[in-house]
Amino acid sequence: MIALDHVTYAYPDAAVTVLTDLSLHVPRGTLCGVVGASGAGKSTLAKVLSGFVPHAEGGELAGSVQVGGIDVPQTPLAEAIEKVGLVTQNPFNQISGAKFTVREEIAFGLENLGIERAEMIMRIEEVGELLRISHLMDRSPYALSGGQMQLVAIASMLVMRPAVLVMDEPTSQLDPGGTRMVFDVVSELTRDGTTVVLLEHKLEQLRDHADQVVVLAGGRVALQGEPREVLSDERLTQWGTGSTRYTQAARAARDRGLDVPGPTPVSFDDALRTFGRGA
């Protein structure tokens, strides 16, 4: 569903490339988590997948970007947007500024797609229930807390039902309950066939939900594979993505000479198995 091959990109007037020879394949209906330090190229990757690079940003893009059956750099942005939904990092910037209520804000994209009214109403109600924001529909988008605004930004994308969803730290403003809910919703979408790329610092959530995890470092794919293996890799520290406290605890215990058998834990459930054994 997503096939990036040998993608290299530099922003206009930039001396160095942000992405270098990057290849990434994500099958339909799967969730690909992307981790990396700030400046590793995550947000640029999100823009490449959704067409904002190069269409809106300019610059030099080499390599092939095939998403949802379209050649993104060769497709006008307005068309690409129908296939690929991008939830940006800062929900405050994603709000259109043109609408008075949350309901109208969520309807904005649908209006542009020319969806008929009855269908629109149905879809908005559905997404409102899914993300538990039905009670906010009549509020001004600007009278929301950061977390609520983030859910509205996600809803505005989900309601368009894109085949591919690219989410740049979609839960950064959310409390743990909200974070869990968004990850559950995303998992359900992938089961229904949506392909999702999620750029995220919350490693434990990726361990539990992603089908594959990619580590970006310096604009290149540094490591790629099964979530637990990738997320417990010792080199993650050197790549600046950190590790969960469970991983750190297992490593520190081994360093102290304590016997910590089995693979290094990443999530709570992993850690229970690791430390529960006769500990």
Partner 1 sequence: MDVYFEDVHHTYPSGVHAVRGVTLHVPAGQRLAIVGQNGAGKTTLVRHLNGIFRPSRGTVRVGDWTTSDKDIADLAARVGYVFQNPDEQLFARKVIDDVTFGPRNLGFDAERSAQAVREALSATGLTEHAQDHPYHLALSERKRVALASVLAMQTQVVVLDEPTTGQDERGVQMIARIVGDLAAQGRTVVAITHDMDFCAENFDRVVVMADGQVRADDVPERAFRQAEALADAQVEPPQLLRLADELGWDSSPLTVPAFVDGLAARRAVR
The binding site for partner 1 (CB under 8 A) comprises: 36-39, 43, 89-90, 92-93, 143, 145-148, 169, 172-178, 201, 204, 237, 240-242, 244-246, 248-249, 252-253, 256, 258, 268, 271-272, 275-276, 278-279
Query: Could you give the 3-state DSSP secondary structure of residue 142?
Result: helix
- Count CB neighbours of 218 within 10 A: 16
Which CB, 146 or 262, lies closer to partner 1?
146
Q: Do 227 and 207 touch, CB atoms closer than 8 A?
A: yes
164 bridge partner residues: 84, 195
Query: Which residue, 20 or 43, has its beta carbon nearer to partner 1?
Result: 43
Closest contact distance (angstroms) between CB of 114 and partner 1 is: 32
Smallest gap from Cβ 65 to partner 1, in A, equals: 22
* Helix or strand holding residue 64 (H, E): strand 60-67
**CB of 53 vs partner 1, minimal distance in Å:** 15
Q: Residue 112 or residue 238: which is nearer to partner 1 going by CB?
A: 238
* Gyration radius from the chain CA atoms: 20
The stretches of the chain forming alpha helices (DSSP H) are: 42-50, 52-55, 77-83, 91-94, 102-113, 117-130, 146-158, 176-191, 203-209, 227-231, 235-238, 245-255, 268-276
CA distance 112 to 65: 25
The residue (of 33 and 75) whose beta carbon lies closer to partner 1 is 33
| Minimum distance of partner 1 from residue 177's CB (angstroms) | 4
Smallest separation, CB 240 to partner 1 (Å): 5
Q: Which residue, 28 or 135, has its beta carbon nearer to partner 1?
A: 135
